[in-house]
Structure 1
Amino acid sequence: MDLPLFRHNRRDRSVAFKEYRSEGGFEALKRAITGMTPAEVQQTVIDSGLRGRGGAGFPTGKKWSFVPRDLPGPRWIICNCDEMEPGTYKDRVLLEHNPYSLIEGMTLACYALGVRHGFIFIRKGYEQAAENLARAIDEAKKEGFLGERILGSEHSIDIDLHLSAGRYICGEETALINALEGKRPNPRQKPPFPAVKGLWAGPTVVNNVETLANIPGILARGAAWFKGLAMNPEGAGSKLFCVSGSVKDRACVELPIGIPLGDIIDGPCGGMRLGKRFKACIPGGASTQFLTAEHLKVPMDYDPVAKVGSRLGSGGIIVFDQDHCLVEATLNLITFFARESCGWCTPCREGLPYVREILTRIETGYGKEDDIAILREHIKYLNYSFCALAPGAMAPLDGLLRHFEDEVREHIVKKKCPLKK
């Protein structure tokens, strides 16, 4: 199957501009500028069923449709490349091998929404990806695909690259907007939503790298083609899955969306490490609930994964075997989220360190039976936070208590981690 995102990749280097062009690159942009209206481009994305690949999975074309056409002043597009979700590295891999699909996709999005100026917000530490993007922007400008009157049309579009200082909270779209404006990256109150009042108070769309990189393929081959890539009837397109943990071959792979979880592990990842048995995994980055061996046949798409109590999220799959302590794994994740909290609201600022303290007591043999009930209460309480960071942080804890409460209780009864000698 000819999947769109990695089709231009070279093994050990980034694809060159001439190579990308020779393989059909920027043809979708030429077709849109010369033969499609902005409304037709937007409708094609709606018809494709593309959902946001950053984690939330919201329909991309529908998100674009929320931008009012009649508001005065400039409007903006921001590409979110603040990829700090533990277990997730797909955007880095994509950009280190091919920055051009993002540039083309972002330019198409600008055209569809009447945006003159877009920004790529990339985290510090992605130096190679940032270098590739800067080169790709310059090359696109020289060839007339960016800048003034692109391809001789009346449309002018520019893209700027912003290298962020980087914090996890910047992945939240309104915190990202504040950071881009030079402010402290706290989330903003919603409403108003960014589509109405975002960057510098103008209508703003924030899309993920993988989301925008899908746009050229959709425009080049059509909405029906994109839908047909999925392995399940309700799905659409391909998905980048980055798999880490106790598998033989850790990898970032592009696969049809809807592929069963077990097929990812046993296929491109070569199965479990020698002598290891699958115990659980986090299917969509650190802020998703554990899945167990009974879920290995679940199609990896947004709705099927949600039906079994987790989220597809970013597609970052972290695999644990029978020797992994999931209390320790959850503690490690909660420690990350507690550190990355912006401190703006009480549930997140105070709740996450307290959950970390309880899990530390349990893991080190000082837990009590009442601690399990307290942890359950905090899963509920932290849902009252200002943004989604704290509820996301509670997702692995929720999965731990739902599927592995016996393991938690065994820590308490034996007054030590039962998996450590």
Structure 2
Amino acid sequence: MKILSIHDLQSIRKKAGQALSLREESNEIVAEKSCGLAVGTKHLQILVCGGTGCKASSSHTITDHLQKKLEANGISNQVEVITVGCFGFCEKGPIVKIIPDNTFYTQVTPEDAEEIITEHIIGGRKIERLLYEDPKTEKAVSDSKHMDFYRKQLRVALRNCGFIDPENIEEYIARNGYFALADCLLQKQPTEVIESIKRSGLRGRGGGGFPTGIKWELTHKQEADTKYVVCNADEGDPGAFMDRSIMEGDPHSIVEAMAICGYSIGASKGLVYIRAEYPLAIQRLKKAIAQAREYGLLGNNILGTPFGFDIEIRYGAGAFVCGEETALIHSMEGKRGEPTLKPPFPAESGYLGKPTNVNNVETLANIPIILTKGADWYASIGTERSKGTKVFALAGKINNVGLIEVPMGTTLREVIYEIGGGIKGGKKFKAVQTGGPSGGCLTEKHLDTPIDFDNLLAVGSMMGSGGMIVMDEDDCMVSVSRFYLDFTVEESCGKCTPCRIGNKRLLELLNKITDGRGTEKDLDTLSTLGRVIKDTALCGLGQTSPNPVLSTLDNFYDEYLEHVKDKTCRAKQCKSLLTYTINPELCIGCHLCAKNCPVAAINGTVRKPHAINPDTCIKCGMCMARCKFKAILVC
């Protein structure tokens, strides 16, 4: 099938839109009762999360079981089972959503499929035990619109995730997909498109925050016979899964945005650089590209215009440094993934020496809706210098782990305590790491900081690509900074001395401190060396790598002092600073701890209190794990 005109596109939107109408209506209604076949609904849809997290918890098996139960009951022609992208509420997955009453079932198992069909679909009765329970009210909430997790979110980049079948191009078209591309090709000059992106205020979501429209304009102005559009899908931050979820849940938005960028800058070739660790994202992106070609939305003479554009996928091997655009380009060229000094910027000399525009996945996901709804609409969201929304992977010691999207300017407090539902187990909040290994650790005094590019930089952190890890009172901030620095040292390409040698020395100092051998002089060295690395490293990886160390020194200096002066770790995370003992009043001499000690460090006879030899103990914690009488003490 080939779409040759805008009228063909409109026909598909109208036809496919009818299939989506139930889902559209469910966004408007407030359902109080289940809407099953027994109460007169002629057609129902069951949406099952098909993101990586839920698939790992057998959501694909849930889909199969639901379909089989529908067929067994002879109602498969009245009820559709549809696999969609990530709903975002990963803590409560797998998610199953019933349309049109919008019932939101959480932590569903394959064994629940029969009950969902017989009770809800046929009987019209909600299954209370599968509904989300609000921890504040302890009441079941059946509709996702009434959950605190979703209430303050604004899904722009994630607009189609959890809503459409990502492997069905017609469902994307029904949501105005490819109409932004059609409008650009048929109604606008490339400079007009670029001006709209500039006016929207969209800034790069990969970490740098460079204005997207200006980057497009720089590439557009270059004179060359060949130009390239590159999608940076090399998402490597620990705990980050924003870009992956967009590609899994809405791959056509990336295809469309790349084609629009190609038209705007004068490129006919697009390249997606994606790490091979994302098999599901790769599968869905491949399918989206094939479908776009089949429908004439990639290839030659798109929508009957002279413009031609096509996309290829290139694989990365998981090098964090290849998230930096020049290192990424070198990797695609088959060279070692190392950054180069700029200028020249990729806009001037990029892939194969040609002008190249590089944007990350989330940045591109915003492009079609900006052009569909207008630059002024997008610019009305967010803060003065940071427009629009930002997607975060909210993880760590938080009740509602998941993928969220909030307007710029939302505070950390709102994200952690309202959307995130507060700290797990009622523990005390200690810190939040924003920006992944390149960011900083912020404390309680920063909770009312509005989240945007400038405010986070001002308090010693950064937006980064969108990782947000919450920590509680049980976390040692010295160990946290060591964890991130260890990651950076491992991922450094080694090209420049400050990063290759300087970060190694920083890590050695942190190891020395957590081993109980540190001195106060080491703390001064950490601070001085960290600032030198920031000022002298070649690329963004090296320049930001000391941030976790410097921010924890600024905000948790007392913990560092305890490690070097008192040789203690208040969070009891640094093994070398711990001492295991047995309380003789609680020990009954069951000998279980001694049997499980891997180094025979526990002495004692049966039915008499035991003792731990501190010289032999390796502080593995096995004794504490096995003791049934809480007789093992750690200090």
TM-score tier after normalising by the smaller chain length: over 0.9
Cα displacement string for residues 268-292 of structure 1 (whole angstroms, at most 9, x for unaligned residues): 2211112211111112222111111
- 2:309 maps to a residue whose letter is I
Aligned to 2:435: 284
For the residues of structure 1 that align with 2:567 and 2:372, how far apart are their CA atoms? 60
Shift of 1:12: 10
- 1:163 maps to a residue whose letter is Y
For the residues of structure 2 that align with 1:116 and 1:313, how far apart are their CA atoms? 30
Aligned to 1:20: 172
The alignment status of 1:389 with 2:541, answered yes or no, reads yes
For the residues of structure 2 that align with 1:77 and 1:70, how far apart are their CA atoms? 13
For the residues of structure 1 that align with 2:468 and 2:224, how far apart are their CA atoms? 43
For the residues of structure 1 that align with 2:541 and 2:502, how far apart are their CA atoms? 12
Cα displacement string for residues 369-401 of structure 1 (whole angstroms, at most 9, x for unaligned residues): 110011011112212122121221101111011
Cα displacement string for residues 345-379 of structure 1 (whole angstroms, at most 9, x for unaligned residues): 11111111211111011112111111001101111
Deviates more, 1:277-286 or 1:404-413: 277-286
For the residues of structure 1 that align with 2:389 and 2:198, how far apart are their CA atoms? 16
Identity across the alignment (%): 40
Aligned to 1:348: 499
The structure 1 residue matched to 2:329, chosen from 173, 177, 188, is 177
Aligned to 2:562: 410
3-state secondary structure, aligned to 1:280? strand
Cα displacement string for residues 102-134 of structure 1 (whole angstroms, at most 9, x for unaligned residues): 111111111111111010000121110011100
How do residues 219-230 of structure 1 correspond to structure 2 at under 5 angstroms? 219-230=371-382
- 2:496 maps to a residue whose letter is C
Shift of 1:2: 6.1
Aligned to 1:318: 469
3-state secondary structure, aligned to 1:66? helix
The structure 1 residue matched to 2:521, chosen from 331, 346, 370, is 370
The alignment status of 1:358 with 2:509, answered yes or no, reads yes
For the residues of structure 2 that align with 1:333 and 1:205, how far apart are their CA atoms? 30
For the residues of structure 2 that align with 1:418 and 1:12, how far apart are their CA atoms? 48
3-state secondary structure, aligned to 1:267? helix
The alignment status of 1:190 with 2:342, answered yes or no, reads yes
The alignment status of 1:137 with 2:289, answered yes or no, reads yes
How do residues 1-400 of structure 1 correspond to structure 2 at under 5 angstroms? 3-10=155-162, 14=166, 16-67=168-219, 69-230=221-382, 232-383=383-534, 384-400=536-552
For the residues of structure 1 that align with 2:164 and 2:253, how far apart are their CA atoms? 18
- 1:258 maps to a residue whose letter is G
Q: Does the 8 Å CA contact 2:224/2:355 hold for their aligned counterparts?
A: no
Shift of 1:98: 1.2
Shift of 1:267: 2.3
Q: Structure 1 stretches of 5 or more lacking a match?
A: none
For the residues of structure 1 that align with 2:309 and 2:468, how far apart are their CA atoms? 36
Moved over 4 A (4+): none
For the residues of structure 2 that align with 1:263 and 1:4, how far apart are their CA atoms? 19
Quickly say closer, same or farther: Cα 1:256–1:70, change in 2 above 3 A: closer
3-state secondary structure, aligned to 1:253? strand
3-state secondary structure, aligned to 2:219? coil
For the residues of structure 2 that align with 1:388 and 1:315, how far apart are their CA atoms? 16
Q: Does the 8 Å CA contact 1:87/1:286 hold for their aligned counterparts?
A: no
Q: How many residues align?
A: 420
Q: Does the 8 Å CA contact 1:82/1:166 hold for their aligned counterparts?
A: yes
Q: Does the 8 Å CA contact 1:379/1:391 hold for their aligned counterparts?
A: no
Task: Please give the TM-score of this superposition, normalised by the length of structure 1.
Answer: 0.97
For the residues of structure 2 that align with 1:108 and 1:68, how far apart are their CA atoms? 12
3-state secondary structure, aligned to 1:170? helix
Q: Does the 8 Å CA contact 1:363/1:416 hold for their aligned counterparts?
A: no
Shift of 1:87: 3.1
Q: Does the 8 Å CA contact 2:220/2:266 hold for their aligned counterparts?
A: no
- 1:339 maps to a residue whose letter is E
Q: Does the 8 Å CA contact 1:174/1:188 hold for their aligned counterparts?
A: yes
3-state secondary structure, aligned to 2:410? coil
Deviates more, 1:281-290 or 1:197-206: 281-290
Q: Does the 8 Å CA contact 2:437/2:485 hold for their aligned counterparts?
A: no
Shift of 1:418: 2.7
3-state secondary structure, aligned to 1:67? helix
Deviates more, 1:407-416 or 1:37-46: 407-416
Q: Structure 2 stretches of 5 or more lacking a match?
A: 1-152, 573-633
3-state secondary structure, aligned to 1:6? coil
Larger Rg: 2
